[in-house]
Structure 1
Amino acid sequence: MGYTIKSDIVVPNGYVYRQSALQPGFHQIHMHSTGNPTASVQNERDYLAGHYNAANYTHLVGITNGAVDIRQVMNTNGGAWDVGGDWNWETYAAIEFSEGSIKSQADFNKAYPAYIWLARYLAKQAGITYTIDNLNTIGIKSHNYASATGHGSDHVDPLPFLAKWGVSRDKFNRDLVNGIAEQKEETKTTKKAGIKDMLLFKADVDTNFGSKANIYFLNGGIVIRIDSVSTYNELKNSGVPFATFTKKNTESLIDANGGLK
C-alpha cells in the first residue's frame, strides 16, 4: 500500500544545515513520537512553524478527520535538531508520530502502517539500509536508542507510545526491517474463487467430512482448499490468514456468496 505525503513545509530550506555548518551526507532516519496527548497533526505543524529554531523534524504522521495524515514539514537531507545529540548531524529525515491525533485503537491501527511505510520509503530514497537501533552510523534509529547510547537526549520515544497501543519494541523493529505484510508488493496472482470452486468444495466436504476444511481469504476473494496434512501451527506460521469451517458453516458461506447456481 502506498500513501500520499502532503508538502506543508514550515522550516526554511537548509535551515539546520546552514545554522550548524553541516557537511553531507546524512545517514539516518530517526523515529519519534510527539509526547503531546492532546495535539493534532495540525497543532504540531503550527507549533513547529513558530519554534523550529529550538527543535525540528521533517515529517508528521497521524490521523486527521479519520484519515491517515502524512505531512512533510521540513526538507530532508540536511540534518535536524531532533534527537538532542551528535546524531542530529546524521538526520536525513526525522519522523514524529502525532500522539494526540490517535483517539482509538482503530486510529492507531490505521496510522501505524503509514509510520512504518514512511520510514522505509525515506530510507530507500536516501539509500539507507533497513536496520534499526545499532551503533552502525547508517540506519534507522529510535530516539530511545540515540539517548541510550549517548547520541541523543534523555527521551525514550516512541517506545512507550507504541507499547500503549500494543506494539512491542521487537515488533516495531521487525516491521521497520521487513515491512508490514499489507504493504509488500504482491509477487503472485491469487485466483478469486467462483461458485464452481464452492461447488467442488461442498462436494469434497459431503463425500469426505472426516477432516475439516480450510478456507483461505486472500485479496478479498475466497480461495478454497482441503488440507488434511498441515497442522494449525504450520498454517498459522505460513502467514496466510485462514478459518476452519464445519459443514454447516460451509453451506452458509456458499449461500452468502450466491448459492448453488
Structure 2
Amino acid sequence: MSGLPNVRLDSAKYVIAHESGNPNNCGPNALENEIAYMNRNKAKAFTSHWVGGGGRIVQIAPVNRVQYGCGPKGNPLSYAQVELARTNDKEQFKKDYAAYIWLLRELAKEAGIPVVLDGAGNGIKSHRWITDNLKGTTHRDPYDYLASMGISEAQFKLDILNGLEEVKRAQITEAKVMFNDTKTIPAVIIDGRTHVQVRNIADLLNLKLVYNNESKITKLYEVK
C-alpha cells in the first residue's frame, strides 16, 4: 500500500497472529474485501500481511517497520503482523490455516525470534497475548475463530512449534519447462521459483556439461 508511515521499531521482538474478527465477510472474496478495507483505513489500522482465499499470502506493508495492528504498546515491538481472513468453507480453511502457520513461522525465523506462540520473552504472539500482557488494546484474536474451525489453542501452539507437513508438501510442485514451444524438460516449483536440472538443459541443447570441483562452477560448452 502507498502512503504508509515509515517508522522504525523500538525493537523487533514479536510477530503478531491476528484474524479479521469479521463474521460478515466470509465469502469467496473475503481476502480481497479485507485488504481493500484496510487500504481505505490505513491511517488507523494496517498490518504487513493477509492470508486467505485458499492459502494465498499477500504482503501489503513492509516488515520491520511500525504497523497499526496491536495497539501502541505492541506495534513498536512487532516485526510483522499477520491477519487471517475468515471463511465458512472448511476445506478452504485448511489451506488458509496451513499458509498462516507457514508464514508466521517464516517471519519469526526471518526476524531471528523464537518460533514459539505466546511463550515467555520474544516470539510469535497472539493479539490476545498483547492485550493480556502489554495492554493498549482489547482484541483477543485469533483463538475463537480458530476454535470455531476445529483448531484448539493447544493445537495452534503445537503447529506453530512444529510446522505442518501439508505445507512442506505444498512447497514443491512438479512442472515442465518448454523450449521454443516444442521440447520440454522436467522441473519443480519450490516456493514460487522454477528449478531445472542443468544436465537436462545440456542434453536438450546438445551441450557438454563440465563441473569444476575447485571453483564450484558448472560450465556448458558447445559440442563440436
TM-score, normalised to structure 1, is: 0.59
8 Å CA contact 1:26–1:79 kept in 2: the answer is no
In structure 1, the partner of 2:65 is 78
Cα 1:129–1:53 shift into 2, 3 Å: same
Equivalent pair of 1:16/1:78 in contact (CA under 8 Å): yes
- Mapped to 2, the partners of 1:73 and 1:140 lie a distance apart of 20
State the SS of the aligned residue for 1:81. Answer: coil
Structure 2 partner of 1:45: 35
1:1-261 superposed matches below 5 A: 10-12=1-3, 15=5, 17=7, 22-39=8-25, 40-63=30-53, 67-99=54-86, 102-136=87-121, 138-184=122-168
Q: Deviations over 1:168-204 (max 9, x none)?
A: 001001111111133348xxxxxxxxxxxxxxxxxxx
> Identity of aligned pairs, percent?
33
Deviation at 1:75, TM superposition (A): 0.8
Match of 2:116, SS state, is coil
Q: Tell me, what secondary structure is at the counterpart of 2:55?
A: strand
Consecutive unaligned residues in structure 1, runs of 5 or more = 1-9, 186-261
- Looking at secondary structure, tell me which structure has more strand per residue: 2
User: Over aligned residues, Cα RMSD in angstroms?
Assistant: 1.7
How much does 1:16 deviate?
Answer: 5.2
Q: Deviations over 1:50-74 (max 9, x none)?
A: 21111110111011xxx42211011
Count of equivalent residues: 165
| CA pair 158-152 structure 1, distance change in 2 beyond 3 A | farther
- Structure 2 length normalisation: TM-score? 0.69
| Cα distance change of structure 1 residues 122 and 44 upon mapping to structure 2, 3 Å threshold | same
d(CA) in 2 for partners of 1:26 and 1:103? 34
- Rounded to whole Å, the distance in 1 between the matches of 2:80 and 2:9 is 15
For structure 2, which runs of at least 5 residues remain unmatched after alignment?
170-224
1:37 Cα offset (Å): 2.1
